[in-house]
Amino acid sequence: GEDVEQSLFLSVREGDSSVINCTYTDSSSTYLYWYKQEPGAGLQLLTYIFSNMDMKQDQRLTVLLNKKDKHLSLRIADTQTGDSAIYFCAGGADGLTFGKGTHLIIQP
């Protein structure tokens, strides 16, 4: 089955860019996803990228996909305190496999 790996914590200063990285093993996913989980809340779909794309930009979010290396990243520009959350990457053709989530910590 799919294995998805992420680092558990990332600390950045407010206003800087955050880059959250993810590696995966199964290349059959048609889409790869980034989800955000705020404290006490369910998951929110942040963005997704079609597997034949290299990059997708959506306002402050930039997703980069390197299929050769099976590496996915999420860049958040101008990180704000409201971006503090757990970010999950996920993939899978049917029934998603999630990474353990990266806790994004914002320093003032």
Binding site for another protein (CB under 8 A): 4, 29-31, 33, 35, 41-45, 48, 88, 92-101
Q: Is 46 left (phi over 0), alpha (psi -120 to 50) or beta?
A: alpha
Find the shortest distance in angstroms from Cβ 94 to another protein: 7
* DSSP-derived 3-state class of residue 15: coil
The CA distances from residue 50 to 30, 60, 65, 85, 89, in Å, are 6, 19, 9, 24, 14
Find the shortest distance in angstroms from Cβ 101 to another protein: 6
Closer of 9 and 57 to another protein (Cβ): 9
Closer of 15 and 50 to another protein (Cβ): 50
Find the shortest distance in angstroms from Cβ 16 to another protein: 26
Closer of 17 and 44 to another protein (Cβ): 44
Give the integer Cα–Cα distance in Å for 23 and 67.
Answer: 10
